[in-house]
Amino acid sequence: MMRVAPLAFVLTLAAVPALAAPTSTRGNADLKKYCTGDALKLCGDIDPDDPAMDACFKKNRGALTENCRRAIDAYAGSGGK
């Protein structure tokens, strides 16, 4: 049973929400680097590739770290969704 908790933690990290997720088909390295913690904290129950992740980030924009907001702005400015 002790192995279940670490495995669950690793699986949670692998499924980090939308823009920042390493397994996501969306986003980029800067979003992963700067927004993973915010995604887990604010939108942790949303699938990374679900459009609901974008809505969660918009809804919680004021709570995002400055670096995450900058990464999102740069990504959007470069033609990213």
The Cβ-side half-sphere exposure at 77, using a 13 Å CA radius, reads: 6
pTM above 0.85, yes or no: no
Across residues 67-71, what is the average pLDDT? 96
The answer to whether residue 4 is domain-embedded is no
DSSP class per residue in 11-34: HHHHT--GGG-TT-SS--HHHHHH
The answer to whether residue 40 is domain-embedded is yes
Q: Quickly state the pLDDT bin for 27 (edges 50, 70, 90).
A: confident
Q: What one-letter code names the amino acid at 10? A: V
More confident residue, 81 or 42: 42
The answer to whether residue 19 is domain-embedded is yes
Across residues 25-48, what is the average pLDDT? 90
9-13, 47-51, 56-60: which is most confident: 56-60
Structure token digits, residue 80: 């990213």
Number of domains in the chain: 1
What pLDDT, on the 0 to 100 scale, is given for residue 81?
57
Across residues 19-24, what is the average pLDDT? 51
| 38 touches 56 (CB < 8 A) | no
Q: Quickly state the pLDDT bin for 48 (edges 50, 70, 90).
A: confident
Domain that holds residue 20: 11-77
User: What is the DSSP secondary structure assignment for residue 17, as one 8-state letter?
Assistant: -
The answer to whether residue 23 is domain-embedded is yes
